[in-house]
Every structure is written in structure tokens, then in C-alpha cells.
Structure 1
């Protein structure tokens, strides 16, 4: 347990100001800082909604994790299953056609999935990792739980309605089942994806690529993220992440863009235009609205510098030491994205380690330079809440407080003499009090 010196950190952020500035036309939306996961705006962020092909971000996560662990190799070849063959020739769906007797590398399938949202390629990846799509769906739900997602359900690897599998949907799921997630869960998945595997952005930002270039099977794959800088709704700094569209989910998009050392993540689900009609343009217009707001109104600031000392708590008293106190300060700085002009709207929160500091607020010698004696975090002075997608986000605004120098333990003779001095001091104090009581 830790000894709280001030109020504890709240959870959530400047919601009123963001809501006043934004009115996103979507069933659900969220805007977050991609570095810390700090929530800057939310609208029905915990509503469980359709996600369509944004589902594929989980398939991407599990693939990149499997590659990192050496369980799957990029040049590994996949032999086409009956389900994947049939699905790949359904031109009503986003697909690259695959041959029944063909062999395709995992990298080819991954690029088709990430750039062109190819559903057959996605199922092929699911079969490669899980052995079957049904097993892979279990892995998806398990990984979602492990990542701390809430309000989600995965029934397939693609985001299609299960009816699009024509009776071959994953075992254990229903013929009309759909993948669902809340905007907060989608943002959290995207946050983990780009922070755990930043290489995903290299593929996600590819505007167009030829599948099987130079063969009879070549097909041009145009990225469905039309906000990439070279495409029709190009946005400066946009380099990901995943679109999704079905009748059930509507027009959805998880976007991420980086400028001037700042990166943001946005999610819109069932986006609509001003007349209430859904469309490709609507999801990008609503994303642009949030991105413009974020880049114009938020700045990354150093809220607490390295070696910061809290007023009134610049030192700790020491017991049994050669010195009677030691200077303490923060080991590193605290940086956070805040609204323009609000850098000074936060106050420090010092928490001392109760295992290191006794009930009288003293630390026992010896003390080593750099020894952690607690931590420091920040909170808004006005009591507003600060919300993060993850507990790790909270930790990014928490830094160790350390001792600035060594303090050796006093030798036995000094400690004995102090004890004697304290004894006679107590006796004299008692006598003085008694004498004063006579008069």
C-alpha cells in the first residue's frame, strides 16, 4: 500500500469542451492520443455496435504476434481450402481470387487483407494460425480479453455477416451472427496494434498494390482507406488503419494520423452525413472532423520536468542516518497531450511508498542515490476526470520519485549517543513540565 499525500488520480477528460466543439454524425465515436491512450472525445463509446471489416485488426494482431514468436513465417506457403476458394470468387465481397490448387505466401495474404480487406485471404490466415477458423475465433476472443477489451464478440475472422459464408461459418457460431464491439474496444485494439506492432502502418498506408503482379491472376488492390494522402479524401499524416462496411454495421472507420510529433486514433461506427445517410464520404468526413479538432487544439507538453520537487516535500526525514534528511525528486519528466493553454491546469500528486517510509514519514538509513521512495502523478486542478484506454496509459503519467544522494547509516556509537541524548531530553522535558505544574 502507498501513502497518499494528495488526492488520488481520477479517470476520464475535458469532455464538455470536446462535446461543444464536435458533433460527430455516427452511432458511436471516440478520439484518443495514440501514445498514451488518453481519451480526448467520446460519443456513445461503450455502445456495442457492428464493426464489419475493422474486425481484421484483431486478425492482423494475431498474425503479427505469431510471426514475432516464430510460429508463422512470412514466406510460409498456404494451400487453399474449399471454403477459402469458394469465398475468394464471391465478387460481391472484397476479395482477391485464389486458385483451388494455388499456393500463396503469408505475406501475400496479409497484404491483401490489410490493403484490400480481402476476406478470403483473411480466412486463409485464420486457418494457418488456428488450424481452423473456429479455433482462430476462440483465439480472437481470448486475445481481446487478454488485451483488456470490454463489450465485444467475435464470431469470424473477417467481419462479414455469417450468412456470407453460405453455411460454412465457423463452428459454434450462428448463421446470422455478426462481430460487435464498442468504439472504446475498437480504439483499444487499434492502440495495442500500432504500439505493439508499429510495422503494421507500413502496409496499412500502402495506397495501391498489385496482387500476383506479372501473372494471369494479377489484380489491382486499391486501399479502402481513401484518407491516405494520395487518395481521394487525402489527409496529411494519415497512415492507417482499417475501414469496415456491411448493412449491419454501416460505414465504419478506424483512422490514425501523425503530425508534428503527435499521433491520434479515431473510430466512427455507422457514420452518416448531415442528412442522416451513410456513405463512404460520411465516414471520412466525420473522421476528418475529429482529426482536425485534435491537431488544432491539443499540444504535447512537459507537465512535470525531470528532477521536479514537490513544494513542501522536497526532502524526506531520515532515521538512523549520518544525515537527518535527503533530497527527493522525480526520476524523469511527465509529458502529456493537453488542450492548448491548459498546461498549468494540472497539479502534482505525490505518493510515498509505505514500505519505505514509516508512520512518521521517515525513511530508514542507509539510503542509496536513485533509490525509489514513491511516485508522482498529476491530476486536473478543477477536478475534471482524465480517462485512458489502458492502465498502462495511467502509468505514462506516473514517474518514480527517487533519493538524490547516498545517506549512510550512522555507526553504533553515534546511534547510542543519540539515544542517550533523546533519553535525557525526554527526562528533562518531563521534569520541566512537572515544575511548571507547581506554579
Structure 2
């Protein structure tokens, strides 16, 4: 064999020197892909090949190859690749703007973390947390294909301590010589909320009381929680409502504050609902029954309680509605009856509605009557007709039943029905349903 042939043959072998050399040759990418896919090679050589493919913006090929690997094989390569990618991703200065190469390596760490076993995943998550929190968060969070909140939502509560430190560094920074302060950007707060930890929720709720630091901070902190737990859009899945549960008392108490803006009250109600049952029901019912709150807060709270608690919330919500108020049948339908019908659980809803027929509250009684008429099942219609007809002598006037009629001429105003009138109408309907079943 000639010296030239031997030299050429050496150029084809996947050594570390050759893997770096292939970055700059025409056939290099193919050779890198072959090296990564070669299960006979040492893990460090395969990881080096993957690192160089990623440097060439060929992450998709790396991911495809990882998908084809067996589990142990994948783990051995990734254990070497992760530190190599971190070396490429790491940013030297806190205020240094990430380069394209650093950003690509960061994105690769995130994309490959789904292949990682527990130990490697924890290592990768630590790298990602440090990348985002080691400097100006917003600038780093916007860099690359995978944005900061998406990463933090995937990493979860493990990212909360360093993200909270990053937020506190801005919130607590002293004023400059001219009296100005560092801006507390909403994106930073959303990043903290996206970690989905109870501690992050608690800290952001503390910031709701920091209007002295920035008049916009309370609204911004609340909006960050709403974004992370209720409506993150397409950026990431909502954070788990379990993190809200320890704070339900505080959320409910804040929502009762009449000085809050409507937007903040709406966000608070939505956050309580996101916590899930049974806590959301317990926290929302006081808002339903609060007499000094605007009527809209009552309706929004009632609907939110039914959405989060489903049929389980029907009795508490109906009993909480103040009997001193007036109730429009159209609003009751939109807020209570129709959502209960939409559950497609007629037997469960009917069982709860029957409990309301004996309530001391006329509002609860009429809700039970109307619901039994709406979710009627032929098999129980006859028995429910008897139950409802027992209220036929109830002379309670259904105040507000037809809505506000004050602007109508007196001749066009519809007379207000009594609860007994509605009970007889619904009972007749149930009897007809029962008879139609017997005929068939």
C-alpha cells in the first residue's frame, strides 16, 4: 500500500481530528451522519459527530438518528453529547448577547432532553436554567427557535429558584442616580410563572402588592399568572393547577377586593378555576354569594365554579346566590342551566338538581326545577314530575325573570311568574315525556 493510499484511508476513519476536519469538507456531513449512526463506534466519537452536525444547523438529522437508537445506546451517546453542547452554548458574560452558535446549541439541548434518562435530564435542565438565568433573561429568552417560557414550562419547578432570583434582582434593584429604576418586563414574570411551582405563584402574588415599586407591576404580575396557568396560547401547555391550590385562600380574598380593576378580578377568578376541584368550588362560592360585588362578578364566579367543579359545584353555587337579588332567566340559562346540560351527564346533573328542590333559597329551588325539565330522562320523568309538582303552590315571585323591563311601555311588560307557575309547567312537560315513553 502506498503512503498516499494509507493517508487517504486515515482520512476516512472517524477520529476526533477527522470529525473536526469533516466540518469543512464537501462529503463531511455524510461522514458525520454515518459516524453518529454507527453503533460500533465509541460514544464520545458519536457525540462529537452529533455536536458538529448541530454546529452545521443539522439538528433534525441528529434527532432522527437518536429516535432510531436503542435506549442504552442513546443514553451513552447523550451522556457525552450534553456537556459538549453546553460548552458550545455557554455564554461568558451576563450582558453578552448570545451568538447564533450558542443559541443553536441551547435549542439542541432542549430538543434532545426528551431522549434523556432521569440523571441526564436533570443535567440538561440545569444547563438550560443557567443559560436563561445567567444574564439578561428577556434577551436570552427570545433567542432561537425554542423560547424561554417554553423551556421553563418543560423544566418545571426546578427552574423556579433561579428564576425567582432573577426577578428579585430586577424588582429589588436600587434606583439609579436620576431616580429611575430597572423596568420589570412582563416576559420575565411570565417565565417565572411558567415554572409552575407554588413558590413562584406565592412570589408573584406578593408582587401584586408592590404597586409602590411600579404602578403597572400588580397588573403585570397577575397577567403573568393568568398566562401561565390559564391561557399560554400556543407557546406551552398551561402550568398545572396544583401549584395554585396552596394559594386559593389568598386568591379568593383578593378577588373580593372591590378596588381591583375588572381585568384583575377576571384573572383571579380564572386562576381559581384553574386550580381544579374541590378547592376551586370552595374558593369561588364566596364570590358568588358576595352581596356588595358587581353583578357581573357573581355571574362570572358562578360560571367559573361550574366549569371547574362540574355537577359537583351545582348545589354550592345555587345555594350561594343571594335570594335578595333579582335573577334574569336568560342569564341563569347561560350561566347555569346550559353549562350543566353541556356536561352530557344528565343523570348526575338531575341527582344534584333534585337536592335543590328542598332548599330554603327560592333561587336554588327554581334552578332545580328548570334543570330537571332540561335534563329530563324518560325513565325518571314520572317521578321527577311528582317532585317538581310538589312546588306548584310556591307563591314566590321570580323577581327579574324577564330581565329589565323598565324601558318598555307598561302594556308590553310581561307579568312576573311565581315559582309555582314554573314548577307546574315543568311538571306538565315531564308528565308528557313519561307518557310518550309508555306509548313506545
The structure with the greater share of residues assigned to helix is 2
- Shared topology, TM-score over 0.5? no
Tell which structure's C-alpha radius of gyration is larger.
2
The structure with the greater share of residues assigned to strand is 1
TM-score normalised according to structure 1 size: 0.23
TM-score normalised according to structure 2 size: 0.23
Higher relative contact order (CA 8 A, sep 6+): 1
